[in-house]
A and B are shown apart, each in its own frame.
Chain A
Amino acid sequence: EAGVTQFPSHSVIEKGQTVTLRCDPISGHDNLYWYRRVMGKEIKFLLHFVKESKQDESGMPNNRFLAERTGGTYSTLKVQPAELEDSGVYFCASSQDSRRGVTETQYFGPGTRLLVL
């Protein structure tokens, strides 16, 4: 079974440009999450999809970030326009549909390293 995949693995862009990150969850996983780790800091939650719906987007930094999950399969995270402080590693994770009262384990992708110059 294929794991969570992310594309690209690395991206270097200039301030003001646009970047789109993609995440393909494990097949059959309804839950998809985006996290970000800025250098030297904790991995922080960005948002959570259940199928194609945004369940929780409380961690999104500002309106320069737009996440979509059309059709409930893969997801994209677009940063437009990118700023210097957006640099970091963006992780995607997926999990199965939560059973009543049970939190399912999240499986992570390898991350996308974004550097904004």
Chain B
Amino acid sequence: AQTVTQSQPEMSVQEAETVTLSCTYDTSENNYYLFWYKQPPSRQMILVIRQEAYKQQNATENRFSVNFQKAAKSFSLKISDSQLGDTAMYFCAFNGGSEKLVFGKGTKLTVNP
């Protein structure tokens, strides 16, 4: 069975600084998809970034980028120039092609002014 581990239950960062959230996963699949979702306080969960395992290039979306290490089964999220609006729960998720997402427990990120 696939599993996703987020080892940092909580993190904090100063506004404008850079922070990296870690995520590791376990699977025997070769083709799969990885996602980072963000859920701000009392708001909807939204997609931050997605990565296809067959792509070697790391995905980037504005200030958000990933470090995808397929051999190490690692998928960390880097947030550059952190903003107050980045305060949220961040969930790492895996999809091995069965359509259902497997989630980690989440990391609560607080951006301090």
Contacts and interface: CB of A to CB of B under 8 A. Distances in A.
Range, interface on chain A: 20 to 34
Interface in A9-49: 31, 33, 35, 40-45, 48
Residue in B43, B97, B99 with the greatest tally of chain A CB atoms within 10 Å: B99
A91 B102 CA distance: 14
Interface in B68-110: 91, 93, 95, 97-106
A17 B100 CA distance: 29
B44 A3 contact: yes
Contacts, number: 52
Contacts of B64: none
Contact of A108 (B4, B45, B102, B104): B45
Interface of A: 3, 31, 33, 35, 40-45, 48, 55-56, 59, 91, 93, 98, 103, 105-111
Interface of B: 4, 33, 35, 37, 43-47, 50, 91, 93, 95, 97-106
28 contacts: A33-B99, A33-B100, A41-B105, A42-B4, A42-B103, A42-B105, A42-B106, A43-B93, A44-B103, A48-B99, A55-B99, A56-B98, A56-B99, A59-B100, A93-B101, A98-B99, A103-B33, A103-B95, A103-B97, A103-B99, A105-B35, A105-B50, A107-B47, A108-B44, A108-B45, A109-B44, A110-B44, A111-B45
